[in-house]
Amino acid sequence: TRSTVQVDYRLDLRIPKRSPDTPVRRAVASDKIGLYDKDLQAFLDGVPPEEATVVKLRNAPSSMRAWMMGDELVLRTDLELRDEFTRTLSAIDGTHVYVLPVTPELTLSEMGKSRSVYVNLN
């Protein structure tokens, strides 16, 4: 008696090359990431640039400071800002500087709870 053995094989290959028909795409950076900003560093150090004007805050912790610089609001605080900002710089001690569009009210996170701070824009 003859026995017939049927065997199937499968081989999956991944060849780490492009097909000759694949179009070439190159990554183009649109903006550079800002790694250092002397103005933000000055605010973080507590010595704002001369052109910055102090802005009064209401319902803010005593350590929080704010300035107008051009058409932007600059905030120095140890709390986390919940509003949208355009630039930021942080120190190792937890102090943050945020640059954001001018707004009459800020929402910050203090011990996991929201705290509203009001900006005097007059």
- pLDDT tens digits, 54-99: 999 999 999 999 999 999 999 999 999 999 999 999 999 999 999 9
pTM of this structure: 0.71
- Give the helix/strand (H/E) hosting 58: strand 57-58
Can you list the positions of beta strands (E) in 62-121? 65-69, 72-77, 80-81, 87-90, 96-101, 105-110, 113-119
Length of the chain: 122
Q: CA Rg, the chain, in Å?
A: 28
